[in-house]
Structure 1
Amino acid sequence: MAPTSMADAATIAAVEVDAESFPAASRDEWTVAAKDLVENGRLKAPGAGEGPWRLNLSLRESRLAVEVEGLGARRGHLISLTPLKGLMRDYLMICDSHVQAVHGASPSQIEALDMGRRGLHDEAGRTLCERLSGKLDMDLETGRRFFTLLCALNAKA
Structure 2
Amino acid sequence: MSEEAATTQHLLAITLPEGVVPHSPYAQADREQAVADLLSGNRFDPAGLPAGPYRLHLDLREGRLWLDIRDAADRPLHGLALSLSPFRRLVKDYRMVVEAHEAAVTADSHDSRVQTLDMGRRGLHDEGAALLRERLDGKVATDEQTARRLFTLICALHSRV
Please indicate the TM-score interval, normalised by the length of the shorter structure.
Answer: 0.7 to 0.9
Q: Which of 1 and 2 has higher RCO (CA within 8 Å, sep 6+)?
A: 1
Q: 1:63 to 1:120 in 2, by over 3 A?
A: same
Q: 1:6 to 1:93 in 2, by over 3 A?
A: farther
TM-score of the superposed pair, with normalisation by structure 1: 0.82
1:138 and 2:134 are equivalent in the alignment: no
- Aligned-CA RMSD value: 2.7
- Within 2, Cα distance between the matches of 1:6 and 1:109? 45
Counting strand residues as a fraction of each chain, which structure ranks higher? 1
Counterpart among 92, 111, 125 of residue 107 in structure 1: 111
Q: What does residue 21 of structure 2 align with?
A: 25
Counterpart contact for 1:48–1:70, Cα < 8 Å: no
Gaps of 5+ in 1: none
Equivalences for residues 6-155 of structure 1 within 5 A: 8-9=5-6, 10-19=9-18, 23=19, 25-26=21-22, 29=28, 30-70=31-71, 74-102=77-105, 103-155=107-159
Count of residues in Structure 1 that have an aligned counterpart in Structure 2: 150
- Within 2, Cα distance between the matches of 1:150 and 1:44? 19
- Within 2, Cα distance between the matches of 1:91 and 1:136? 24
Question: 3-state SS of the aligned residue for 2:21?
Answer: coil
Counterpart contact for 2:68–2:76, Cα < 8 Å: no
Gaps of 5+ in 2: none
